[in-house]
Structure 1
């Protein structure tokens, strides 16, 4: 079972800056403490003529092609949220404001590690409200052709991911981990996003990957990995897919007590699984655990 604990936010604000992977636009990101019950809320500081707050919640996910995009009722969107969301989930950040002066979360080095470092810089603070989590009671599964994603009951949060890219340096890879803050930091956070060189031109014609480079992605050309220094893990590709899934699942708004399994799944199927779960109130329950704290948040 998950340990009893209260909600958590940041102790201080912290700043990071980089470029959007798909927009190619420079962006400054500031994480700030938020009150109990806020959740993860992205704030577009460059928009002032309408509601610029976009909560990271499942029903606001509007696009999942090569990244997760959320959009509020005023039409304000934030894209490529998944790596930051994975860091928030793994480090148990329940409440945070994420201010951006552009439309996309900076890609940084293509992993979640810069966001983990950003949160460490900000520090952590426990809050008054007990933390709630979503406990999986019965299996939920979504299937699309040869792709599959599921959630099943478990006594901890576990992630298993399997990918298969025959004829490439990726090949067949599987990762299976109990997700704790320590395991995320050591096994997943540094795993980078990846792509194939022969697909870059098509992506850029579609308005995607304009900021992509060897500095923020693993790039494969035929049977060669172009990045100087090679891989950070021998199975870095599947570790990154697990990282993505953790971020995509956190649009549930709370930690999961259950086991996620993905086979060749992507952002679209991950979000379809979240929506399938929420449509099945018999398949989960929300449990609140935490100690009574006098005044810490």
Structure 2
């Protein structure tokens, strides 16, 4: 594994790396190849793989999101790619600004339901600097969105960096109400968020299957809850794994800003739809943020940002 490059410069992968697995919702196998990207290109998904008849390249940006129904999908039709959030969180958490993701299926593989396999792949490839300055989104004023009792907000962070405060609430055990705060760094991302798995309720399975969702979900890639107990034989990786996974999703969702965010995120009962609505509101409110360059960032420690079940 190579050391993390300077936060003042854009980064990319040092080499290509391949992962294979099954999509949690489609149930279809998929192979992805993560490759170096050019400075300023961001993260770009190439649907079908470079040798495929499907010819579609989709930038991982909020404007290209077509669905937030239990996962995040970008693009449309045969050229779309679903469930990108855990991979985006890994790229974001490790500070990878530019990458090409070749994928030969409709959905990023679930792996174990967390970002751990993607982190391992990025570490195998290595992260290197590019001869171009990194730019970031600096919060200047708060923005907030609500959906009934649920809400999410972004606000300036006087100390710089990216800070998360996420609270979830589900009736009954084993989740109930959980809240966690985190000032993000790559080390804390690795230790506290990367291994947190997605979760679901066995009672929802039939409804999801009828909707063509969760066809690849299993105890291998999902923490499954039934009758207020966890069905996975190994139990939880963290006592509060549920809220940690929601934080992982926040990181992946806000990565679709296309640049690191310097600010503080807070939410209550949030999810992909609310996270993306917040990001869209921010980007549509010019006075709420400023694009800053490497010189300003060096005075404000940053971590890449980018945040369902």
What TM-score, normalized by structure 1, do the two folds share?
A: 0.94
The corresponding residue for 1:295 is none
Q: Deviations over 1:160-211 (max 9, x none)?
A: 1100112121011011000110010000000000000000111010000000
The corresponding residue for 2:73 is 69
Measured in 2, the distance between the counterparts of 1:89 and 1:254 equals 9
Asked if 1:55 corresponds to 2:64, the answer is no
Measured in 2, the distance between the counterparts of 1:191 and 1:4 equals 26
State the secondary structure of the residue aligned to 2:69: coil
The corresponding residue for 2:112 is 109
Structure 1, unmatched stretches of 5+, are 292-297
Q: How far 1:48 moved relative to its partner?
A: 4.7
Change (3 A) 1:164 1:245: same
Contact kept? 2:48, 2:55, Cα under 8 Å: no
Q: How far 1:96 moved relative to its partner?
A: 0.1
Q: CA RMSD in A?
A: 1.5
Contact kept? 1:110, 1:217, Cα under 8 Å: yes
Q: Deviations over 1:62-93 (max 9, x none)?
A: 10010000016x86211000000001111110
Contact kept? 1:8, 1:94, Cα under 8 Å: yes
> Which piece of structure 1 moves more, 49-58 or 92-101?
49-58
**Mapping for residues 181-200 of structure 1, pairs under 5 Å:** 181-200=186-205
Q: Deviations over 1:24-72 (max 9, x none)?
A: 0000011000110110001113585564101100100110010000016
Identify the match of residue 244 of structure 1 among 246, 249, 274: 249
Q: How far 1:124 moved relative to its partner?
A: 1.1
The corresponding residue for 1:83 is 86
Contact kept? 2:54, 2:78, Cα under 8 Å: no
Asked if 1:175 corresponds to 2:180, the answer is yes
Contact kept? 1:4, 1:290, Cα under 8 Å: no
Contact kept? 1:131, 1:290, Cα under 8 Å: no
Contact kept? 1:130, 1:290, Cα under 8 Å: no
Measured in 2, the distance between the counterparts of 1:86 and 1:142 equals 22
The corresponding residue for 2:303 is none
Identify the match of residue 9 of structure 1 among 7, 12, 35: 12
Measured in 2, the distance between the counterparts of 1:276 and 1:9 equals 28
What TM-score, normalized by structure 2, do the two folds share?
A: 0.91
Identify the match of residue 132 of structure 1 among 128, 135, 145: 135
Structure 2, unmatched stretches of 5+, are 1-5, 297-309
Number of aligned residue pairs: 288
Contact kept? 2:48, 2:54, Cα under 8 Å: no
The corresponding residue for 1:283 is 288
State the secondary structure of the residue aligned to 1:78: coil
Measured in 1, the distance between the counterparts of 2:115 and 2:233 equals 20
State the secondary structure of the residue aligned to 1:142: strand
Asked if 1:123 corresponds to 2:126, the answer is yes
Q: How far 1:228 moved relative to its partner?
A: 1.0
Contact kept? 1:157, 1:258, Cα under 8 Å: yes
